Amino acid sequence: GESVGLHLPTLSVQEGDNSIINCAYSNSASDYFIWYKQESGKGPQFIIDIRSNMDKRQGQRVTVLLNKTVKHLSLQIAATQPGDSAVYFCAERGGYNKLIFGAGTRLAVHP
Amino acid sequence: GAVVSQHPSWVICKSGTSVKIECRSLDFQATTMFWYRQFPKQSLMLMATSNEGSKATYEQGVEKDKFLINHASLTLSTLTVTSAHPEDSSFYICSARADSYTIYFGEGSWLTVV
């Protein structure tokens, strides 16, 4: 398999603060990237995506930044809410349209 | 919107038996589906790419004879875990590709082998 992490790093933030979750991807040829949110016991939920010809894309309360030079992706969540608590994964689309997931980050939002 | 459905949501089976998990695209046709496995506190690991009407493509290290994948129609792919053992207990997730940039995930299936 690929991109299997042994431990999920945790980002703890206060409710109302902004959160930044980072991801390093592996394949410089990947042309499409997605951020997913996964709640306990559920499948991944699409948050936002970005194509490789862009370096920034904004959604509602979320922004994705792509730095192809260093193969880095970040997800910014504005005014983080308790409902944002989950595990966040970045995924890159490589050969044969396969989505390969990063190790994931657990976001814990405290009141 | 489009939905991908997995069945069963959870299953318990005895060691040595086989168990089948279904993945259906409910309102779109999917020529390509993907199967992932996820262990607790870990990421999703791609197991195989399921192509309608042809053999699945397995990732390195995934036993094709143990994890049988069939994609007999444009809306259904099945994963059969053969001769299951406790170490196969995991969360299995499928996804279906609707178009070049749209992939929908199922809600996952919990497998416990006792």
What does the DSSP assignment read for B37-100? EE-TTS-EEEEEEEETTS--EEPTT--TTTEEEEEEETTEEEEEE-S--GGG-EEEEEEEEEET
All residues of chain A having their beta carbon less than 8 Å from the beta carbon of residue B90 are none
Residue B24, pLDDT score: 97
- Look over chain B and give the mean of its residue pLDDT values, rounded to a whole number: 95
CB atoms < 10 A from the CB of B106, how many?
A: 27
Length of chain A: 111
Which H or E run includes A101? strand A99-101
Residue A26, pLDDT score: 87
Nearest to A1 among B45, B93, B95 (CB): B45
Read off the tokens for A30: 């990947």
Percent of chain B residues topping a pLDDT of 90? 89
Query: What contacts B78, CB < 8 A, 6 or more positions away?
Result: B20, B21, B22, B23, B69, B70, B71, B72
Residue B101, pLDDT score: 86
Alpha-carbon span A2 to A91, nearest angstrom: 11
pLDDT-derived band at A5 (thresholds 50, 70, 90) equals very low
Nearest to B43 among A3, A34, A49 (CB): A3
In the DSSP assignment, the letter for residue B59 is P
Helices (H), chain B: none
All residues of chain B having their beta carbon less than 8 Å from the beta carbon of residue A98 are 34, 46, 49
Strands B109-113 and B10-13: parallel
The predicted-structure confidence for B32-84, as pLDDT tens digits, reads as follows 999 999 999 999 999 999 999 889 999 999 999 999 999 989 999 999 999 99
Percent of chain B residues topping a pLDDT of 70? 98
> Would you give the distance in Å from CA A24 to the centre of its chain?
10
Q: Hey, is the C-beta of B37 within 8 angstroms of any chain A C-beta? A: yes
pLDDT-derived band at B114 (thresholds 50, 70, 90) equals very high
Nearest to A100 among B46, B61, B101 (CB): B46
* Cβ–Cβ under 8 Å, residues A21 and A105: yes
Token pair 């178009």 is found at: B99
pLDDT-derived band at A69 (thresholds 50, 70, 90) equals very high
Distance spanning both ends of chain A, measured CA to CA:
37
All residues of chain A having their beta carbon less than 8 Å from the beta carbon of residue B93 are 43-44
SS3 sequence of A20-75: EEEEECCCCCCCEEEEEEECCCCCCEEEEEEECCCCEEECCCEEEEEECCCCEEEE
Alpha-carbon span A40 to A108, nearest angstrom: 13
pLDDT-derived band at A2 (thresholds 50, 70, 90) equals very low
* Average pLDDT of the residues in A26-52: 94
pLDDT-derived band at A96 (thresholds 50, 70, 90) equals confident
Is the pLDDT reported for residue B2 higher than 80?
Answer: no
* Average pLDDT of the residues in B2-23: 95
Q: Hey, is the C-beta of B58 within 8 angstroms of any chain A C-beta? A: no
Is the pLDDT reported for residue A6 higher than 70?
Answer: no
Burial class (CB in 10 A: 0-12, 13-18, 19+), B47: buried
Residue B103, pLDDT score: 92
> Amino acid identity of B85?
H
